[in-house]
Amino acid sequence: VSVWNFSAGPAVFPKPVLERIAFELPDWHGTGQSVLELSHRSPAFEAIIADAEAALRRLLGVSDDYAVLFLQGGATLQFAAVPLNLAATKAAYVDSGAWAQKAIKEAQRYLDVDVVWSGRNDDYRRLPRPEEIEVLAGRGYLHLTSNETIGGVQLRDFPKHDLLVADMSSDILSRPLDVGSFGVIYAGAQKNLGPAGLTVVIVRKDLLRHAAVTTPSAIDYTQQAANGSLLNTPPTFAIYAAGLVFAWLEELGGLEEIALRNEEKAAFLYTAIDASDFYHSPIAPADRSLMNAPFRAPEALEPLFLQEASQAGLLELKGHRSVGGMRASLYNAMPLAGVQALVAFMGDFEGRNG
């Protein structure tokens, strides 16, 4: 069956990568073993993780000043790992929506959080311009959420700060990035990187060796960096699959090419929404996410929209339970054809119900 998966994560996966995994799964490169069976200490797996790291570094332009870690526990564990590893007593957080709030709540267990900007009064429909964020000296790191997966807002420009920390779970690898302007970047894999179960952390090496003594070893950046992410058993299959996703992206032309495709896909959907009196986007146009597009129809018709969309093979369009409505996630692996199918369905539904 042919379907389009608009899930916010775990999400659509690049088809060529799925096919390659299916082909290689029983016998990895003639070893007679499945990649699922390889010891994380085997030379075969060491090559897999080294290749994955090298490809990720090439894609994002990560210099040797940074360690790249492949961890577990999701972005949620990083909400705690960041304050523990940076051993700060204070930090500044931007409250851009649901995910920023979770990061803030977790950080408050470890340090004093100064919320330096909040979208609350605007119902989280917009984001700050860089100059709207004022961080007092001595407030520690500045934490951002580059893309709010639930709210559907995405930062275009990042504020300048000498220690920027960003949760990039839902837009990493969707566009070129100046990694050098960040201290720590972290992301759960299950949107643009690979399978759920893997968490990528990119940390500037001068930030290592400051962790609080209570930091669990498995999330201690210094210990994991010293052990090449092999302090304990890493999510081996997820690292292998992420490596294939990175290779797919490189083959396609890298982040500049994928950014063009992502802009084209999002523009196609938002243009259709804006052209219609039936649908609308609640988000300020300048801050609309290219990855997650929430949209509304007349509320009484939304359940029927979702039911018929699902029957038409357009899956997982239900908005997050906290905001309702619809949400189309348009990650790297969603082809333009999927967005065209959605827009065609939307036009048809409006024609019959508008």
Ligand X SMILES: Cc1ncc(COP(=O)(O)O)c(C=O)c1O
Residues lying near ligand X in the complex (CB under 6 A): 9, 74-76, 99, 145, 149, 167, 169-170, 188
Residue sitting closest to ligand X (CB): 74
Among 45, 37, 33, which Cα is nearest to 229's?
Answer: 45
> C-beta of 323: minimal distance to ligand X in Å?
13
Residue found by looking up tokens 């520690």 in the block: 140
- Report in angstroms how near the CB of residue 28 gets to ligand X at its nearest: 26
Q: In the complex, what is the shortest distance from the CB of residue 322 to ligand X, in angstroms, rounded to a whole number?
A: 12
Q: Which is nearer to ligand X, 242 or 297 (CB)?
A: 242
Closest CB to ligand X among residues 167, 316:
167
Nearer to ligand X, 62 or 75 (CB): 75
CB-wise, 145 or 332, nearer to ligand X? 145
* Cβ 223 to ligand X shortest distance, Å: 21
In the complex, minimum distance from the CB of residue 118 to ligand X, in angstroms, rounded to a whole number:
17
Specify the residue, 169 or 229, whose C-beta has the smaller distance to ligand X.
169
Q: Which is nearer to ligand X, 28 or 93 (CB)?
A: 93
Catalytically annotated residues: 99, 167, 191
On the question of a cis peptide bond just before residue 176, with omega within 30 degrees of 0, the verdict is no
CB of 188 to ligand X, least distance (A): 3
| HEC-encoded secondary structure of the chain | CCCEECCCCCCCCCHHHHHHHHHHCCCHHHCCCCHHHCCCCCHHHHHHHHHHHHHHHHHHCCCCCEEEEEECCHHHHHHHHHHHHHCCCEEEEEECCHHHHHHHHHHCCCCEEEEEEECHHHCCCCCCCHHHCCCCCCCCCEEEECEECCCCEECCCCCCCCCEEEECCCCCCCCCCCHHHCCEEEEECCCCCCCCCCEEEEEEHHHCCCCCCCCCHHHCHHHHHHCCCCCCCCCHHHHHHHHHHHHHHHHHCHHHHHHHHHHHHHHHHHHHHHHCCCCECCCCHHHECCCEEEEECCHHHHHHHHHHHHHCCEECCECCCCCCCEEEECCCCCCHHHHHHHHHHHHHHHHHHC
Token duo for residue 31 = 């070893």
